[in-house]
């Protein structure tokens, strides 16, 4: 049945029915929800008297393709993009709001499965979808806002890195970009890479752990490592150097790079969408378990790789063609 047949209120009823939690939900997922979908607005607990909020938008053809990703995959990715932003502040997510623009001829099952993906990714971090809006739109577009709580910690900002700090990361890099390249060349494997593109494996708990261990700055890698470290370097007025030998190229990535004739470090250094977390820690800090050193902060400006300017592929500009 198409959305035009279901109608706005029928669609809302079907989507809201999917937002009750789901398999894999943390105990207490959605426990911050004081008033969920169905009223003019939702009410969400903000225990420490502050709320952390981030918005990301996904546009069909630019951020996802329906022939490459299932609706459920797209839901996971849309939620993950926002939940990773909260993790990068050292916050714990509490709630998501979702605005959907969808073509009237779209099958309502696509919207329902999108909702399943949004709900499942949220529930895995203890959050719930509490509200949203839908409209017909010639372009399929998904805008998600995530809310979170800092649990009485200071937010870990982009501007706190100091010369001498260590640069460390949690999670993985280059997998999603490699999967994207594989798909764009018409292949459907290696599965490890394609799956990484479809659903990022975001190291959510590592954000809170980094905040507790005194991270001086943090960001999630969505534009590409060099580009996002560039945001940290600019905000903190420092230079950041990363070491190429800090990154292992996993075998399936090495094989795919060879088969496609590309440099896998292009994926690792410039690929976004894995939503790894990168942070700086004071010199000599004992890093938490999930974190590993990839470089150092110095005086100056910009990002270097092995102390040299980086001339490889650049990160993503969402207005470039």
By CB under 8 A, tell whether 54 contacts a copy of itself: yes
Could you tell me if 254 and 151 are in contact, meaning their C-beta atoms sit under 8 angstroms apart?
A: no
Residue 118 token pair: 């949004």
**In the set 13, 31, 47, 109, which binds a copy of itself (CB under 8 A)?**
47
Q: Contact region for a copy of itself (CB under 8 A) — 119-127, 133-141, 254-262, 282-290?
A: 133-141
By CB under 8 A, tell whether 289 contacts a copy of itself: no
By CB under 8 A, tell whether 122 contacts a copy of itself: no
Rounded Cα–Cα distance for residues 265 and 252 (Å)? 14
- How buried is 311 (Cβ within 10 angstroms: 0-12 exposed, 13-18 middle, 19+ buried)? exposed
**In the set 36, 131, 174, 190, which binds a copy of itself (CB under 8 A)?**
131
For the bound state, the minimum distance from the C-beta of residue 294 to a copy of itself, rounded and expressed in Å, comes to 19
Q: How many CA atoms lie within 13 A of 142 on its CB side?
A: 28
By CB under 8 A, tell whether 79 contacts a copy of itself: no
Count of residues that bind a copy of itself according to CB under 8 A: 75
By CB under 8 A, tell whether 296 contacts a copy of itself: no
**In the set 27, 40, 186, 245, which binds a copy of itself (CB under 8 A)?**
40
**In the set 143, 161, 167, 269, which binds a copy of itself (CB under 8 A)?**
143
By CB under 8 A, tell whether 74 contacts a copy of itself: no
Could you tell me if 116 and 76 are in contact, meaning their C-beta atoms sit under 8 angstroms apart?
A: no
By CB under 8 A, tell whether 139 contacts a copy of itself: yes
For the bound state, the minimum distance from the C-beta of residue 264 to a copy of itself, rounded and expressed in Å, comes to 26
Residue 192 contacts by C-beta under 8 Å, 6 or more apart in sequence? Answer: 175, 250, 252
Chain residues 200-259 in contact with a copy of itself, contact rule CB under 8 A: 218-220, 235
**In the set 15, 25, 80, 89, which binds a copy of itself (CB under 8 A)?**
89
Could you tell me if 229 and 303 are in contact, meaning their C-beta atoms sit under 8 angstroms apart?
A: yes
Q: Contact region for a copy of itself (CB under 8 A) — 140-148, 208-216, 245-253, 264-272?
A: 140-148
**In the set 49, 186, 261, 309, which binds a copy of itself (CB under 8 A)?**
49
By CB under 8 A, tell whether 62 contacts a copy of itself: yes
**In the set 38, 282, 283, 300, which binds a copy of itself (CB under 8 A)?**
38
Residue 260 contacts by C-beta under 8 Å, 6 or more apart in sequence? Answer: 181, 182, 185
For the bound state, the minimum distance from the C-beta of residue 206 to a copy of itself, rounded and expressed in Å, comes to 14
Residue 139 token pair: 């372009």
Looking at residue 155, the DSSP 8-state letter turns out to be P
Could you tell me if 123 and 93 are in contact, meaning their C-beta atoms sit under 8 angstroms apart?
A: no
When the beta carbons of 182 and 278 are compared against a copy of itself, the nearer one is: 278
Rounded Cα–Cα distance for residues 278 and 267 (Å)? 16
By CB under 8 A, tell whether 136 contacts a copy of itself: yes
When the beta carbons of 90 and 264 are compared against a copy of itself, the nearer one is: 90
**In the set 26, 134, 285, 293, which binds a copy of itself (CB under 8 A)?**
134
Could you tell me if 100 and 141 are in contact, meaning their C-beta atoms sit under 8 angstroms apart?
A: yes
Chain residues 101-120 in contact with a copy of itself, contact rule CB under 8 A: 101, 104
How many other CB atoms are there within 10 angstroms of residue 310's CB atom?
Answer: 20
For the bound state, the minimum distance from the C-beta of residue 261 to a copy of itself, rounded and expressed in Å, comes to 29
Could you tell me if 69 and 113 are in contact, meaning their C-beta atoms sit under 8 angstroms apart?
A: no
- How buried is 1 (Cβ within 10 angstroms: 0-12 exposed, 13-18 middle, 19+ buried)? exposed
**Residue 241 forms beta bridges with which residues?**
296, 304
């Amino acid at each position: 049945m198409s959305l035009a047949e279901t109608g706005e209120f029928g669609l809302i009823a079907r989507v809201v029915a999917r937002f009750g939690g789901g398999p894999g939900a943390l105990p207490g997922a959605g426990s911050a929800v004081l008033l969920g979908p169905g009223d003019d607005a939702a009410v969400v607990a903000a225990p420490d008297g502050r709320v952390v909020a981030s918005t990301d938008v996904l546009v069909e053809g630019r951020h996802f393709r329906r022939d490459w990703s299932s609706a459920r995959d797209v839901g996971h990715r849309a939620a993950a993009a926002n939940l990773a932003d909260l993790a990068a502040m050292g916050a714990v997510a509490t709630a998501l709001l979702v605005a959907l623009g969808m073509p009237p001829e779209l099958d309502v099952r696509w919207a329902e499965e999108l909702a399943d993906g949004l709900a499942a990714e949220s529930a895995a971090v203890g959050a719930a979808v509490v509200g949203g809006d839908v409209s017909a739109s010639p372009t399929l577009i998904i805008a998600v806002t995530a809310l979170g709580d800092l649990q009485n910690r200071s937010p870990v900002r982009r501007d706190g890195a100091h010369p001498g700090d260590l640069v460390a990361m949690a999670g993985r890099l280059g997998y999603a970009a490699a999967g994207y390249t594989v798909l764009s060349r018409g292949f459907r494997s290696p599965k490890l890479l394609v799956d990484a593109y479809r659903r990022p494996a975001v190291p959510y708990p590592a954000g809170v752990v980094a905040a507790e261990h005194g991270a001086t700055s943090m960001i999630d890698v969505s534009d590409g490592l060099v580009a996002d470290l560039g945001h940290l370097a600019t905000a903190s007025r420092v230079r950041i150097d990363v070491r190429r030998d800090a990154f292992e190229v996993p075998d399936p990535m090495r094989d795919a790079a060879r088969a496609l004739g590309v440099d896998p470090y292009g994926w690792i250094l410039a690929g976004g969408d894995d939503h790894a977390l990168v942070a700086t820690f004071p010199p000599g800090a004992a890093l938490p378990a999930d974190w590993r050193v990839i470089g150092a902060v110095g005086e100056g400006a910009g990002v270097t790789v092995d102390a040299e300017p980086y001339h490889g592929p650049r990160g993503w500009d969402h207005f470039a063609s």
